[in-house]
Amino acid sequence: MIGKTVIPFGPQHAVFPEPFHWRLVMEEERVLDAIPGIGYMHRGIEQLATRMEFAKTLFLAERVCGICSFMHALAYAESLEKLMDVEVPPRAKYLRTIWAELARLQSHLLWIGLAADAFGFESLFMQAWRVREYVMDMVEFTEGGRVMTSSVTIGGVRRDLHEEAIEFLLENLDKLEVGFEEVYQVFTEDPLIKHRTVGVGILSKEDSIRLGAVGPTLRGSGVAQDMRMLGYAAYGELEFQPVVEDSCDSYARMVVRLKECFQSINLIRQAIKKLPDGDVLVKVRGKPEGEVVTRIEQPRGELLYYIKANGTKSLERFRIRTPTLSNLPPLMHMIKGACLADVPVITLSIDTCIACTER
């Protein structure tokens, strides 16, 4: 009988781009317990926000996470607009929707690449990132930056889409769809990927609700919850249904993300078709006062912003709850009892983003 061993996993690990640390308590090949160690990426954003002017905090919020920077800026702008009673022009709402879906696409494609890398499927990783560059081109063409877009502001958006940009978007969406179709087929049909994911990391429907999972992790367990259904930005006027899978394993979560890519392409096309004319920015005056909670669907799940302002130029309290934080308890539940070789796959299946979790 072998006793328990503790295996450190990370912080510098080839599978993750971010420092993430697990202490795995093992008995032979089974994981008995997993203790996450965090704090490598803490930047003190919440405290910094209480010292900065609220208009500048937008750029700080954008830099919570580089993968979904647009979503954080959107959540911040939406919260302050609620506090200050600003009505955003309809065209700005549609532009926000288009850019939010582009951000979702690039985040999902990034995850698909990393997941393929974790399965040891190097060529698929390269394919996914090749396809992702179409999205990055669209982002850069329309927003001015590849990663940090700085295109949302309180009261609207900072840039408009002209004719040429819309043509560029439509053209690249077609190319993207063709390229993504190939990746999708490999992912759903390849026996190796099925072998690594089917039945690995089971999270039942009851557990996912009890442990508070969000986003694709929750939808992969058969619960149709999607914050976009709340109808922020222009989502209320577009047609879509949350993507749900009910096999509750890593494979289901993967398929949810893959299908959401098609959904995003479709949503962008719908939004371009319905794009109204008019202004994109209204002037905002005064200082925010009061409390507000905003919920936004990030690529990884529900993002929650809590802002308390007291009429001065800085916020009084700025609190972010990111989807990865909500998904950590389900992850710890799934890792218990898994094999050591499955730990990277299960960890990736919730699409961890440590930068936002530790802020």
Partner 1 sequence: MFEMLNTILKNLFSGPVTRPYPAQRREPFASTRGQIKSVIENCIFCMRCQAACPANCIVVDRKEQTWSVDPYRCIVCGMCVEVCPTEAIIMNRHYRDPVKHREPIVKHQEGPIPKINPKAKGIN
Partner 2 sequence: MSLVALSRKKSPWLLHFETGGCNGCAIEVWACLTPVYDVERFGMVNTGNPKHADVLIVTGCVNARSGRVLRNLYSQMPEPKVVIAVGVCACTGGIFHDSYNLAPGADRAIPVDIYIPNCAARPEAIIDSVLHAVDLLEEKGRSYDARRS
330 Cβ contact list (under 8 Å, min separation 6): 203, 207, 208, 211, 212, 213, 217, 350
Q: Which two tokens stand for residue 51?
A: 């010292």
Which residues, numbered 32-71, are part of the site for ligand SF4 (CB under 6 A)? 63, 66
Of 60 and 280, which has the nearer Cβ to partner 1? Answer: 60
Report whether 322 contacts 1 (CB < 8 A): no
What does 144 bind: partner 1, partner 2, ligand SF4, none (CB cut-off 5 to 8 Å by kind)?
Answer: partner 1
Closest CA to 295 of 347, 253, 235: 235
CB of 148 to partner 2, least distance (A): 6
| 130-149 binders of ligand SF4 (CB under 6 A) | 147-148
Check: CB of residue 303 under 8 Å from CB of residue 295.
yes
Looking at residue 320, its amino acid is I
Count the site residues for ligand SF4 by CB under 6 A.
4
Q: Which is nearer to ligand SF4, 62 or 302 (CB)?
A: 62
Q: Which of 148, 166, 198, 272 binds partner 1 (CB under 8 A)?
A: 148
Interface stretch with partner 1, choices 33-41, 141-149, 297-305, 307-315 (CB under 8 A)? 141-149
Q: Of partner 2, ligand SF4, partner 1, none, which one sits near residue 143, judging by CB under 5 to 8 A according to partner kind? A: partner 1
12 contact choice in partner 1, ligand SF4, partner 2, none (CB below 5 to 8 Å, kind-dependent): partner 2
Pairing of strands 156-157, 152-153: antiparallel
Minimum distance, C-beta of residue 81 to partner 2, in the bound complex (Å): 22
136 forms part of the interface with partner 1 (CB under 8 A): no
Distance between CA atoms of residues 316 and 319, nearest Å: 10
* Amino acid (1-letter code) at residue 42: H
One-letter amino acid for residue 239 of the chain: E
**Distances from the Cα of 26 to the Cα of 9, 159, 319, angstroms:** 12, 53, 36
Binding footprint of partner 2 on the chain (CB under 8 A): 11-14, 17-19, 39-45, 47-48, 51, 59-60, 63-67, 69, 110, 113, 125-126, 129-130, 132-133, 136, 145-148, 353, 355, 358
Rounded to the nearest 5 percent, the helix, strand and coil shares of the chain are: 50, 15, 35
- For residue 288, say if its preceding peptide bond is cis, omega within 30 degrees of 0: no
* Shorter beta-carbon distance to ligand SF4: residue 62 or 226: 62
- Binding of partner 1 at residue 52 (CB under 8 A)? yes
Whole-angstrom distance, CA of residue 55 vs CA of residue 81:
12
Amino acid at site 129: W
Among 104, 159, 253, 300, binds partner 1 (CB under 8 A): 159
Determine if 194 is a binding residue for partner 1 (CB under 8 A): no
User: Where does residue 111 rank: exposed (0-12), middle (13-18), buried (19+ CB within 10 A)?
Assistant: buried
Q: Which residues bind partner 1 (CB under 8 A)?
A: 52, 56, 59-60, 63, 130, 133, 140-145, 148, 150, 158-159, 165
Q: Which residues bind ligand SF4 (CB under 6 A)?
A: 63, 66, 147-148
